[in-house]
A and B are shown apart, each in its own frame.
Chain A
């Protein structure tokens, strides 16, 4: 070792450098630890808003019926209708813009705490599409990495160095500073109102129906997403949860079927899971006024859709 040191062309001494680096790292470590702890404390203190809903979905809800999915779950399934007609408590854990990784991570956390009676999983076109953005979007799960070991393998898919990055106490709250600050204000409670996780859309679409040719719309499939979909089904079955997979309405005239949707249907069929498809439901296809945009129904559409789905669930299984 000494020989190696001698070989180094050292002007001011390696000890001096190591001491400086150690002092610098100590400073950075202390700052990271203190700032990270403060952020963590305020993150979990939020009582409303997006981050609160995620936190409640993962750590809080004990509802009998849970609704999973992205924006088309969060903004279309009103839990009040489900509670009223099924006589079961219901919560919408859907989150706008989130890919399949998010749904499965939340499911794992939920099943660790309790077993819901029914899970509704909303599946949308392109759900299994390969995209780096899907992995990046998992950043909202980072605050739960430390406290939820069951989510770690999913979160670590974000990048090969995710585990290393998560040694920092601040990193899980990257880009969340203002969200956390706002989430702790009274103003936010008024701003982000939701109904048990459901967020109403109030705009009325006023445009003619357009045609989307899915036969021409080819894309690469992310095998991770497909595998998590299979695992989602498997975990529900193992936990004895009644699972409904739903494709909610679109205001598009579809030529052919989206590849992801075909895969989702096939896998559901293989596992004897009810797949309820509203994509070509005449009531919605003929009425743009039930939509907020071409892929999201509005509050009026939500009422019709939620009740139609409940009818289907009751009819199919005669469970209530």
Chain B
């Protein structure tokens, strides 16, 4: 069941209505059952995998809390092995096997291990990470165990963020299931507005750009450099609107029922450095890696070479988290390299700024920084989007020729794309740099405010792509 479907619309209306009709004590059960239904609408059998990790982590956390010393650590390791083991089996088994075969082939040997026809459980990486954060926090003593099995299961399965995040922390989400959420029409409307904006980003911008991007990236050999360059820039906006659109719908859906999920995107298009970009992009994952991987391996409080190593490790694993393909690993590597390179060259870039005096022209400097960051991130995304490393290399080679005229199939697709991006940037620019100024979305006048949102709905119906299908991040 995807958010941009009528199936979900009816599901959402029914669940939300029942949620407020039911007494507080029964609400967890409603949410748990509806979350099961939501998940089973994809591939029903995979709920067993989810159920297995829930049971393992539920008991592991209790054992961790009740034990001390090495035993405590042992339970944590057991829980992590179970979670990572499932993730590795379903997501990386065939990838590892392929690379193993390649390695053996180099020595003239054949691989006896069979390939398996495995369908990746939807959202596996998301709910596994969320479950792991619970046991780790219990181990660290920052979170008390949740003894109510149903509420713990709901923490892992809460349907708005079950399949594509935000990846929540127990400290933020668990207690909310025990709180009584009163019906507040202002909050309901606020949630609905976030949903509308999320749908707009997904249907009008992401899926529209997706038509052009897919056309170019799925036929790399037939496309010229300029077309691939445009498709690459479009993809940056597509993936942002697709994923942040999903997050908005998740956050809005939860908000309607009184739950506050963490912010997952903070206008990454306006990041001034690649380091800042990761503080604005997929925040729930970035902070997860920071808290549970980067800091435990030493973070920046180690020798300089080790610091660089730590950064690279985090980004390479982040790449692998996204998918079992070398393209993702390279994508992660490039982004790690950006950070390391920025640290190494900081004094030179500072010198360059003072010599040229560009930093004395704040607006120009800001524009320059944002543009460079956007281009660097877009470049790395060639690997993120390309089907194979070979394709990605071909795309880069073709782009560097800067040759050919931009492909246009005669329809108005490019015009739609530019209009959509213009609309997005206008809204985001306003939010980023002109916060206190005139606003339509939060105008004091009811009719002005709601005219804006009904205009968005009309644009969704008029310009939305209703055949666009799944969200990109579902595959992870």
Enumerate chain A interface residues (CB-CB to B < 8 A).
Answer: 4, 7-14, 16-17, 20, 23-24, 27-28, 31-32, 35, 39, 132-133, 136, 159-161, 164-165, 168, 170-171, 173-175, 177-179, 182
Min CB distance A52 to B, Å, is 15
21 pairs of residues in contact across A and B, judged by CB atoms under 8 Å: A8-B20, A9-B20, A9-B181, A10-B183, A11-B182, A11-B185, A12-B183, A12-B185, A14-B183, A16-B185, A24-B454, A27-B450, A28-B458, A164-B6, A170-B458, A170-B461, A173-B462, A174-B464, A175-B463, A177-B412, A179-B412
B188 at the interface (CB under 8 A from A): yes
Flag if A168 contacts B183 (CB, 8 Å): no
Chain B residues within an 8 Å CB radius of A179:
411-412
- Give the size category of B's interface with A: 20 to 34
- What string of 1s and 0s marks CB contacts (under 8 Å) between B434-476 and chain A? 0000000000001100110111011001111111000000000
Chain B residues within an 8 Å CB radius of A23:
446-447, 450
Q: Of residues 122 to 137 in B, which have CB atoms within 8 Å of A's CB atoms?
A: none
Min CB distance A29 to B, Å, is 9
Partner of B184, one of A11, A28, A133, A174: A11
B186 at the interface (CB under 8 A from A): yes
Known: A11-B184, A12-B186, A17-B188. A24 touches B6 (CB 8 A): no
Min CB distance B301 to A, Å, is 47
Partner of B21, one of A4, A35, A168: A4
Min CB distance B369 to A, Å, is 35
Kindly state the separation between the CA atoms of A7 and B411 in the bound complex, as whole angstroms.
Answer: 54
Kindly state the separation between the CA atoms of A65 and B79 in the bound complex, as whole angstroms.
Answer: 74
Min CB distance A7 to B, Å, is 6
Kindly state the separation between the CA atoms of A182 and B415 in the bound complex, as whole angstroms.
Answer: 12
B407 at the interface (CB under 8 A from A): no
Flag if B454 contacts A28 (CB, 8 Å): yes
Flag if B463 contacts A31 (CB, 8 Å): no
Kindly state the separation between the CA atoms of A163 and B229 in the bound complex, as whole angstroms.
Answer: 40
Flag if B182 contacts A28 (CB, 8 Å): no
Chain B residues within an 8 Å CB radius of A170:
458, 461-462
- Identify whether the interface residues of B are mostly helix, strand, loop, or mixed: helix
Known: A9-B180, A10-B182, A161-B6. A182 touches B467 (CB 8 A): no
Kindly state the separation between the CA atoms of A8 and B180 in the bound complex, as whole angstroms.
Answer: 11
Chain A residues within an 8 Å CB radius of B106:
none
Chain A residues within an 8 Å CB radius of B416:
175, 178
Enumerate chain B interface residues (CB-CB to A < 8 A).
Answer: 6, 20-21, 23-24, 180-186, 188-189, 411-412, 415-416, 446-447, 450-451, 453-455, 457-458, 461-467
Partner of B461, one of A4, A13, A171, A178: A171
Partner of B467, one of A13, A14, A136, A165: A136
Flag if B21 contacts A7 (CB, 8 Å): yes
Nearest A residue to B9, CB-CB: A161
Flag if A27 contacts B185 (CB, 8 Å): no
Flag if A13 contacts B450 (CB, 8 Å): no
Flag if A8 contacts B462 (CB, 8 Å): no
Flag if A27 contacts B412 (CB, 8 Å): no
Residue among B23, B24, B180, B466 with the most chain A CB within 10 A?
B466
Min CB distance B415 to A, Å, is 6
Chain A residues within an 8 Å CB radius of B20:
8-9
Chain B residues within an 8 Å CB radius of A27:
447, 450-451, 454
Kindly state the separation between the CA atoms of A13 and B182 in the bound complex, as whole angstroms.
Answer: 11
Partner of A17, one of B185, B411, B412, B458: B185
Chain B residues within an 8 Å CB radius of A8:
20-21, 183
Given contacts A173-B462, A177-B412, A178-B415, 9 further A-B pairs with CB under 8 A are A9-B24, A11-B183, A12-B184, A14-B183, A24-B454, A28-B458, A35-B458, A164-B6, A182-B412
Kindly state the separation between the CA atoms of A132 and B183 in the bound complex, as whole angstroms.
Answer: 41
Chain B residues within an 8 Å CB radius of A7:
21, 23
Min CB distance B63 to A, Å, is 37
Residue among B180, B185, B411 with the most chain A CB within 10 A?
B185
Chain A residues within an 8 Å CB radius of B447:
23, 27
Kindly state the separation between the CA atoms of A14 and B6 in the bound complex, as whole angstroms.
Answer: 25
Chain B residues within an 8 Å CB radius of A175:
416, 462-463, 465
Residue among A9, A17, A132, A136 with the most chain B CB within 10 A?
A9
Chain B residues within an 8 Å CB radius of A159:
6
Kindly state the separation between the CA atoms of A198 and B159 in the bound complex, as whole angstroms.
Answer: 52
Nearest A residue to B6, CB-CB: A161
Flag if A32 contacts B458 (CB, 8 Å): yes
Min CB distance B306 to A, Å, is 51
Kindly state the separation between the CA atoms of A173 and B458 in the bound complex, as whole angstroms.
Answer: 11
Chain B residues within an 8 Å CB radius of A13:
185
Kindly state the separation between the CA atoms of A35 and B456 in the bound complex, as whole angstroms.
Answer: 13
Kindly state the separation between the CA atoms of A28 and B457 in the bound complex, as whole angstroms.
Answer: 7
Flag if A24 contacts B461 (CB, 8 Å): no
Kindly state the separation between the CA atoms of A178 and B24 in the bound complex, as whole angstroms.
Answer: 51
